[in-house]
Amino acid sequence: MTTYGSFPGSRPRRLRTSPVMRRMVAETRLHPADFILPAFVREGVSEPVPISAMPGVVQHTRDSLKKAAAEAVAAGISGIMLFGVPEESKKDALGTPGTDPDGILQVALRDVRAEVGDELLVMSDLCLDETTDHGHCGVLDELGRVDNDATLERYAEMAQVQADAGAHVVGPSGMMDGQIGVVRDALDQIGREDVSILAYTAKYSSVFFGPFREAVGSSLKGDRKTYQQDPANVRESMRELALDLEEGADMVMVKPAGPYLDILAKVAEAVDVPVAAYQISGEYSMVEAAAEKGWIDRDRAIFETLTGIKRAGARNILTYWAVEAAQKLR
């Protein structure tokens, strides 16, 4: 004889019984407007150049970048973050292409703004690593160390030329002390109070950046451990967060995303400004490689990783799947 009192008093499974039920009670929802597309544009190429370590991602020509931006608008995503890859012969110790009004990134910013106007937030990576012959994110001193304050002077110049070229948002990503305050002052000095700053607040020295080095044609020898954060540290990120907000950051970001969801959650809980996370090249490439081997379901893996990032607190996600994910959501 059945004893009804022995059954569970609560049955959470009732809310998982069908796709429509699960959709209705979902606590986290992805939307095309959540996404920002990182895109690379390479100087001196006539056709897009596939990035071998990032299947499906290319170094764009100026023309193909404009098409990618138009596609991003059609997909309904919020922004495009541009990275410029200059010709190798133009790189130097100071990263001159980064402040040249005719440098590839500035040219690309003008191209994209002309193509999409204000229908897409046009964002620019503000860092020297793509443009220096040594591959570091800053200027080196006589001992080969990254000189923080000399680098800030270069960042100020970069901010101004990027704003002049049409950037809606600049993203200082070099992890130099004081970079947000210097960039804000530089923009305000030329009357560009309208240009926002997306602070790379917690950027960790991560092995998952590996494929990105190919994407930007990096000349780096060694590592960036003296300025990017130690993966072992948490409180350090919260200190960086407080400093960035004090210096005038409009938005803050955690990078990488997946291995640092705990940091992302802490940052999101602590602030009242928009929080972004960057799903970086290695995160992308791992899923693509495993899917190519038939080890995982590619689409499910993409949306599971993106959902996890948003659930942890990201308002916006920089991801190489931005347009594809948005198209599928629509």
Contact 41, 105 (CB under 8 A): yes
User: Looking at residue 319, what DSSP letter applies?
Assistant: -
Q: State yes or no: is 203 an active-site residue.
A: yes
Single out the residue of 189, 192, 191 nearest to residue 124, CA to CA.
Answer: 192
Single out the residue of 288, 192, 327 nearest to residue 248, CA to CA.
Answer: 192
Q: Which member of 255, 293, 310, 328 is catalytic?
A: 255
Q: State yes or no: is 66 an active-site residue.
A: no
Q: Which member of 203, 221, 225, 310 is catalytic?
A: 203
Contact 36, 78 (CB under 8 A): yes
CA distance 282 to 193: 35
- Long-range CB pairs of 108-114 (<8 Å, 24+ gap) are 108/41, 108/62, 108/65, 108/82, 108/84, 109/82, 109/162, 109/165, 109/166, 109/167, 110/165, 110/166, 111/62, 111/65, 111/66, 112/65, 112/66, 112/69, 112/80, 112/82, 112/166, 113/165, 113/166
CA distance 285 to 41: 19
Residues with a catalytic annotation lie at 203, 255
